[in-house]
Amino acid sequence: MLTFCPTCGNLLLLDGGPSTSASAACVRLTCKACDYAYDVTHGVKQKVAHRRKRVDDVLGGDDAWKNVDRTRVDCPKCDGDEAYFMQIQIRSADEPMSVFYKCCSCARQWREG
C-alpha cells in the first residue's frame, strides 16, 4: 500500500525506529522531505474500489462471423470437425497472419498462429 505525506505529498517510507508516543518501539511511516511521522499501531488497511474496464471485441463481435468461410478442423472442446475461420494480420507485416476459428457446433473460439 502506498501512503503519502499529508503535508508535502511525498511517499511515506517504513521506519522501524522508536515511536513518537510514550509506548514501546513500533513501525512508523516517515516522510524523508519533512518531519512528518505516523505510528502504525493497529495495521494499515485501505480499500480501493476497482472499476472494470469495458473490453472491446477486437474481432468485431458477432457481426464479424456472419460472412466467413468454413473449413474442416478439429475443435479442441467438443471434437467437432467443422469451424468458421478468418485470417487477420495482428502482428507486424513480416509475421504470418493469425487464423481465428469458431466451432460450428459449440461456438468456441480459438486462434492458431
pLDDT of residue 91: 84
**Quick one: average pLDDT of 9-33?**
75
Asked whether residue 23 carries a pLDDT value surpassing 70, the answer given is no
What confidence tens digit (pLDDT) does each residue in 37-83 have?
888 877 767 788 888 888 766 667 777 778 888 999 999 888 888 99
In this predicted model, which residue has the larger pLDDT, 27 or 16? Answer: 27
How many CA atoms lie within 13 Å of 89's alpha carbon, on the beta-carbon side? 5
**Quick one: average pLDDT of 99-112?**
89
Asked if residue 58 lies in contact with residue 32, where contact means CB atoms within 8 angstroms, the answer is: no
Domains (ranges, CATH) in the chain? 1-48 (2.20.25), 61-112 (2.20.25.10)
Buried b (16+ CB within 10 A) or exposed e, 76-111: eeeebeebbebeeeeeeeeeeeeebbbbeeeeeeee
DSSP letter, residue 63: G
Asked whether residue 20 carries a pLDDT value surpassing 60, the answer given is no
